[in-house]
């Protein structure tokens, strides 16, 4: 668990009274929340409740129709996604595919040459293998022959080595075997411990709640609960109609 924010601390991410829509369809209504640096916020709610829409607004992929988005004290409403990326916001998975015919290490080295320069590749590879030990074990394997979960780890390793300021983890564990989900969560913990703030959208509610400090429960595009996980009680279970299993 992260420490409580200092009184007067500046929020890393803040949404104020945000509505967002897809054409005429309004997906979220009056959504407000504050995410302080170093903390982990879980977005919970049933299918279609607006979780991914909030994630997309938070990474600039979708502009609000009303309301404002703030990052580290600046109003960033309406900025283009690449400017959000430059602030150190990563929305993952980004759908970035791997080069199937290259090895794991060649895939990573290609990215790190671009982001770190040739001399930085060795150190970046070591960091990637520390974050994802399984990739280290499979460094010589052709990426196209990795399992789906391992390919997801490979594409994540390419962005996470740079330690984003804000990682929006959007259904990262979707379709992964439980053992791989555990590994993805261990990686999220390491990234959190290294100082990255996390916004998590997750089907596996118990996994999300185990790492989160705060939670938001959405019902039909509106915030039904916003506060510490410790005070959530069984609200999420009642809203989601589950004992916390796998409903989104
Ligand atoms: P899930 O857990 O099923 O992924 P979610 O809570 O992430 O759901 P969103 O994806 O944010 O929900 O969707 C919120 C609402 O917006 C849903 O009713 C959905 O059908 C609608 N919606 C999402 N994307 C679009 C789109 N591109 N065009 C039209 N409507 C959309």
Q: Domain of 82: which CATH number? A: 3.40.50.300
Question: Tens digits of per-residue pLDDT, 216-225?
Answer: 999 999 999 9
| Residue whose CA is at the smallest distance from ligand 1 atom 2 | 47
Tokens encoding 178: 């439980």
* Domain contains 227: yes
Q: What angle do CA 54, 238, 59 make, to 5 degrees?
A: 10
* Domain contains 210: yes
Å from CA of 59 to ligand 1 middle: 16
More confident residue, 203 or 195: 195
- In this predicted structure, what is the pLDDT of residue 25? 94
- In this predicted structure, what is the pLDDT of residue 247? 39
From the list 193, 182, 168, the residue with the least C-alpha distance to 2 is 193
Give the pocket of ligand 1 (CB within 6 Å): 22, 25, 27, 45, 47-53, 248
Look at the chain and report how many structural domains it folds into. 1
Q: What angle do CA 180, 183, 185 make, to 5 degrees?
A: 115
Separation between Cα atoms, residue 73 and residue 121, nearest integer Å:
34
% of the chain exceeding 70 in pLDDT: 93
* Domain contains 54: yes
* Domain contains 4: no
* Domain contains 225: yes
Separation between Cα atoms, residue 143 and residue 99, nearest integer Å:
7
- In this predicted structure, what is the pLDDT of residue 163? 83
Å from CA of 127 to ligand 1 middle: 35
Å from CA of 103 to ligand 1 middle: 36
* Domain contains 107: no
Å from CA of 102 to ligand 1 middle: 35
* Domain contains 174: yes
For ligand 1, what atom is nearest to the CA of residue 56?
Answer: 11
| Residue 205: domain span | 19-98+163-240
Question: Tens digits of per-residue pLDDT, 64-119?
Answer: 999 999 999 999 999 999 999 899 999 887 555 788 999 999 999 998 998 888 99
Å from CA of 27 to ligand 1 middle: 7
| Residue whose CA is at the smallest distance from ligand 1 atom 24 | 22
* Domain contains 62: yes
């Amino acid at each position: 668990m992260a420490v409580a924010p200092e009184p007067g601390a500046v929020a890393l991410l803040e949404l104020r009274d945000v509505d967002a829509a897809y054409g005429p369809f309004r997906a979220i209504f009056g959504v407000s929340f504050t995410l302080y640096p170093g903390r982990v916020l879980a977005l919970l709610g049933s299918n279609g409740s607006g979780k991914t829409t909030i994630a997309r607004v938070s990474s600039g992929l979708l502009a609000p129709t009303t309301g404002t988005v703030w990052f580290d004290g600046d109003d960033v409403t309406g900025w283009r996604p690449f400017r959000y990326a430059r602030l150190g916001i990563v929305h993952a998975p980004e759908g970035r595919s791997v080069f199937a015919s290259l090895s794991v290490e060649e895939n990573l080295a290609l990215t790190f040459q671009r982001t770190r320069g040739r001399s930085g590749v060795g150190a970046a590879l070591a960091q990637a293998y520390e974050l994802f030990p399984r990739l280290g074990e499979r460094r010589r394997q052709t990426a196209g022959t990795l399992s789906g979960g391992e390919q997801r780890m490979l594409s994540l390793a390419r962005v996470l080595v740079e330690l984003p300021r804000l990682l929006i983890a959007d259904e990262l564990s979707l379709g992964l075997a439980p053992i791989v989900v555990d590994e993805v969560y261990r990686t999220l913990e390491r990234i959190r411990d290294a100082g990255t703030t996390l916004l998590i959208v997750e089907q596996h509610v118990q996994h999300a709640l185990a790492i989160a400090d705060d939670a938001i429960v959405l019902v039909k595009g509106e915030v039904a609960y916003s506060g510490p996980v410790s005070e959530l009680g069984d609200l999420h279970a009642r809203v989601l109609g589950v004992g916390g299993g796998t409903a989104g």
